[in-house]
C-alpha cells in the first residue's frame, strides 16, 4: 500500500516526449503485460496448427490428430467461454478434414476419435464455465476485502503539519489484501500522533482486533492529553476484547475457555510530535524499536523502559513510559512491524533491515520507502509469511500555510 505523490504546476509547461512524460509512467508496463497475456492466449491455436501440420507431414500409418483433444482442454484454462466453445467446435472440424485427406473417413477408429473430441469439447466448456464463475467469486471477495481494508486503515496523508509521511502495507495473505498490522496518523490539539501496531496472527482472524484498536486510537488521540494515558486505555480496550473473545470461545467450546488468553495481544508504538517542539515522544508497547535517520546516519531508538504489549498490561504490571528524542528538520523516523525484520528467505535467513535503511537513507522519502518494500519482497521472493507494515516520517521546515491542529488532510 505504498503511497504515491502528485505534483501541481503553477505555470503550463510543454509536454515532454512520450517516453519521459511523467503523466504516463505505466504505458510501457501495460504494453509488456498485454504481450505477456497474448502469448498464453494464443497457445491453443498454435497447438492446433502444430498438430495439423504434423499430421499432414507424417506417414499414413502414423496419425497425431487425436492430440487435437488437448486444444479445448488448454483453451478452457486460458481463454473465456466463447473462445473455448469456438475451439471445441474447430478441433473436430479440423480433425475431420485431416481424416478426409488421409482417406480415413467412415472408419470406426476415426469415428471414435471424433466422438472423443466432441465429449472433450463439451467437458472443456463446462470446466471453463466453472472457472469463470470461480474467478468472479474471487474477484468479489477481493473487492470486499479491499473495501474493508480501506474502511479499517485510512490512507496516510502525505503531509501532516511539519511532517511528511509515506507508508507501505503488505499482507501475508496477498489474495485477501488484509491482515493484522495497522497504522494511523492524526493531527490533534496535542500535536501529530502516530500509531503503528501488530496484532498477533495474520489474515482475517486479526482484523477484528485491528479495527477495535484503530477505532479506540482515533477517539483517544483527541481526548487524552498524555500519550501514556492513550497507551493505557488502548491496553484496557485490548483486554476487554480478549475477555469477550474468551467468553465466546467458552460458549462454543467449553473446554477451550481461557486457553488462548496469552495467545492474543498486539504490539504497538505510539509517537507524538508536540507543536512547536523539535522532539518526538515515543511510547513502546512491546514493539520493535524504530530507526532514526539523521544526516544520513541510521540509529536504532532503543526504549528506556520497554512497555508491555497491548492486552498484557495487567499480567506484566508494566506502566507505559514516554521516551523523548530530538527530532529536528531533516530528521527521519522509520516505524515498522516485525514482518520487516522476521521475514525469512528460502534459506531461513532474516533480512538486515538496518543495512537496507542505510542503503536508502540518502534518497527522497518516497523512494526510500519504495526501496525498502522492494528489498523485502526480493528477500522473500514475493512470499511473505507474516503481515508487514512500515511508516516513514520526515520533519520539514514549518509551513505557515499548513492547516491548524485537528485538521487531517486525506490521502490521494
Spatial separation of the C-alpha atoms in residues 251 and 231, rounded to whole Å: 31
Task: Indicate whether 33 belongs to any domain.
Answer: no
Q: Are residues 114 and 245 in the same domain?
A: no
**184 forms bridges with which residues in the sheet?**
195
Q: Are residues 188 and 132 in the same domain?
A: no
Q: Which residues form the domain of 310?
A: 154-395
What integer pLDDT is reported at residue 13 of this predicted model?
Answer: 41
The closest alpha carbon to 131, from 204, 75, 186, belongs to: 75
Give the residue-averaged pLDDT of 282-300: 92
What is the domain-level CATH number for residue 175? 3.60.40.10
> What is the share, in percent, of the chain residues with pLDDT greater than 90?
32
- For 76, phi then psi, to 5°, come to -65, -20
Q: Are residues 112 and 236 in the same domain?
A: no
How remote is the C-alpha of 187 from its chain's centroid?
26
**268 forms bridges with which residues in the sheet?**
197, 286
Q: Are residues 301 and 330 in the same domain?
A: yes
Q: Are residues 140 and 276 in the same domain?
A: no
Q: Which of 90, 116, 144 is the last residue of a domain?
A: 144
Give the residue-averaged pLDDT of 371-396: 87
In the chain, how many H helices and how many E strands?
A: 10, 11
Q: What is the residue whose three cell numbers read 502516530?
A: 194
Give per-residue pLDDT as tens, 3-31.
Answer: 433 333 333 443 443 333 333 333 334 44
> pTM here?
0.65
DSSP 278: S
Amino acid at each position: 500500500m505504498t503511497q504515491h505523490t502528485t505534483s501541481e504546476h503553477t505555470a503550463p509547461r510543454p509536454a515532454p516526449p512520450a517516453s519521459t512524460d511523467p503523466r504516463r509512467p505505466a504505458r510501457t508496463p501495460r504494453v509488456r503485460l498485454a504481450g505477456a497475456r497474448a502469448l498464453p492466449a494464443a497457445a491453443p491455436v498454435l497447438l492446433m496448427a502444430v498438430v495439423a501440420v504434423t499430421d499432414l507431414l507424417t506417414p499414413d500409418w502414423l496419425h497425431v490428430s487425436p492430440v487435437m483433444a488437448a486444444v479445448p482442454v488448454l483453451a478452457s484454462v486460458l481463454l473465456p467461454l466463447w473462445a473455448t466453445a469456438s475451439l471445441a467446435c474447430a478441433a473436430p472440424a479440423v480433425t475431420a478434414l485431416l481424416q478426409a485427406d488421409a482417406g480415413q473417413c467412415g472408419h470406426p477408429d476415426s469415428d471414435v476419435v471424433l466422438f472423443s473430441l466432441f465429449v472433450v469439447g463439451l467437458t472443456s466448456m463446462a470446466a471453463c464455465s466453472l472457472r469463470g464463475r470461480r474467478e468472479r467469486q474471487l474477484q468479489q471477495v477481493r473487492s470486499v476485502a479491499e473495501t474493508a481494508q480501506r474502511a479499517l486503515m485510512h490512507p496516510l496523508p502525505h503531509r501532516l503539519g511539519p511532517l511528511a509521511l509515506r507508508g507501505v502495507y503488505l499482507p501475508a495473505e496477498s489474495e485477501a489484501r488484509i491482515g493484522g498490522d495497522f497504522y494511523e496518523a492524526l493531527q490533534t490539539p496535542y500535536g501529530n500522533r502516530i500509531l503503528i501496531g501488530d496484532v498477533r496472527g495474520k489474515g482475517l482472524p486479526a482484523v477484528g482486533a485491528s479495527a477495535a484498536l484503530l477505532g479506540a486510537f482515533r477517539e483517544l488521540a483527541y481526548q487524552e492529553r498524555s500519550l501514556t494515558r492513550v497507551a493505557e486505555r488502548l491496553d484496557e480496550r485490548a483486554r476487554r476484547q480478549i475477555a469477550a473473545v474468551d467468553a465466546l470461545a467458552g460458549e462454543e467450546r467449553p473446554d477451550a475457555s481461557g486457553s488462548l488468553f496469552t495467545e492474543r495481544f498486539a504490539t504497538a508504538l505510539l509517537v507524538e510530535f508536540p507543536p512547536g517542539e523539535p522532539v518526538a515522544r515515543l511510547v513502546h508497547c512491546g514493539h520493535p524499536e524504530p530507526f532514526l535517520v539523521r544526516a544520513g546516519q541510521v540509529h536504532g531508538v532503543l526504549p528506556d523502559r520497554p512497555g508491555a504489549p497491548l492486552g498484557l498490561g495487567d499480567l506484566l504490571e508494566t506502566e507505559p513510559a514516554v521516551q523523548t528524542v530530538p527530532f529536528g528538520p531533516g530528521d527521519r523516523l522509520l516505524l515498522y512491524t516485525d514482518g520487516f525484520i522476521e521475514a525469512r528467505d528460502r534459506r531461513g535467513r532474516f533480512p538486515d533491515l538496518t543495512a537496507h535503511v542505510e542503503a536508502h537513507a540518502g534518497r527522497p522519502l518516497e523512494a526510500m520507502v519504495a526501496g525498502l518494500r522492494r528489498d523485502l519482497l526480493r528477500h522473500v521472493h514475493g512470499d511473505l509469511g507474516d503481515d508487514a507494515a512500515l511508516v516513514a516520517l520526515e520533519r520539514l521546515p514549518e509551513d505557515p500555510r499548513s492547516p491548524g491542529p485537528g485538521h487531517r488532510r486525506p490521502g490521494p
